[in-house]
Amino acid sequence: MKKRIGFIGCGNMGKAMLGAMVKSNEIALGDLIVSTKSKASAEKISDDFEVKTTTDNKEVVRNSDILFLAVKPYFFKEVIEEIKDLVTENTIIISIAAGITIAQIEEWFGKNIKVVRTMPNTPALVGEGMSAICPNKNITEEELQYVGRLYDLFGKYEVLEEKDFHAFIALCGSSPAYVFMFIEAMADAGVKLGLPRVKAYKLAEQAILGSAKLAFETGKHPGVLKDEVCSPGGTTIEAVIDLEKNGFRNTVMSAVEKCADKSKNM
């Protein structure tokens, strides 16, 4: 299913997605088009990715079968107002905006449209994103599979009901910040123990990366993997006991829940 793909807006996340598509060689460069607010940014994207660029959002719509709306949420309604008359019932609209619902997008377009609400997280910038995808009722199974293949280019994805996006935000959208805090805390501990800071960060980062990969590739329960590291009377179990004593699990679960609650109330 050959599709022409357009981006309206191309910030960090848009560039990550565009870059993954370009590198994949699965999408012809001539089938990609991007619009940005300024001529300078359009020229920069054209130079970096060798795709057609413009400052005219309507030109993108006219040349796209799949249209990524990659602008900030507060520009969303304004952009839709500008392009809605050109969007057809066959155009697939993909939103990556946090907090904008399918119902809002449908209302702003004011007609029968195909919409996929998505939410990638920042590891998509290095091809390791985790994205949530939710189609509206007009998206066919074949179209959903095609969108999924696009999201596979910069990580992994799960199809979720829209009501579960709050949980996704807390568990995947915001969690890179939690992990970075954990890396920072581990590195600080390493510095306290005498390691140079650069090496402490490198060690902490690789420990997190390797642990996540081990869990993913073995499919073992995290509790089993934890137990495999803990020797009887050893050093690791001492650290685990201290984490438990200081409420590590409860702190993490509480933070995730608070994040989801905030998302629901925004």
| Cα(70)–Cα(75) distance, integer angstroms | 10
Find out whether 30 is annotated in a ligand binding site: no
Longest dimension (CA), the chain: 70
Closest by Cα among 99, 77, 80, 101 to 91? 80
According to DSSP H, which parts of 27-158 are helical? 39-49, 57-62, 76-83, 102-109, 141-152
Find out whether 44 is annotated in a ligand binding site: no
Sign of CA dihedral 44, 47, 50, 55: positive
Find out whether 196 is annotated in a ligand binding site: no
Residues 6 or more apart in contact with residue 34 via CB below 8 angstroms: 6, 7, 10, 14, 18, 42, 45, 49, 51, 52, 53, 54, 60
| Cα(221)–Cα(219) distance, integer angstroms | 7
Sign of CA dihedral 54, 56, 60, 62: negative
Say how many CA atoms lie within 13 Å of 55 toward its Cβ: 8
Find out whether 11 is annotated in a ligand binding site: yes
126 secondary structure, DSSP code: G
Find out whether 12 is annotated in a ligand binding site: yes
- What are the structure tokens assigned to 100, written together? 């904008």
- Give me the residues paired with residue 119 across strands: 132
Find out whether 135 is annotated in a ligand binding site: no
Find out whether 36 is annotated in a ligand binding site: yes
Find out whether 129 is annotated in a ligand binding site: no
Q: How far apart are the first and last CA of the chain?
A: 38
User: What is the CB neighbour count within 10 angstroms for residue 157?
Assistant: 20
Find out whether 73 is annotated in a ligand binding site: yes
Find out whether 72 is annotated in a ligand binding site: yes
Where is the binding site for NADP(+), in residues? 8-13, 36, 70-73
Where is the binding site for NADPH, in residues? 57
Where is the binding site, in residues? 8-13, 36, 57, 70-73
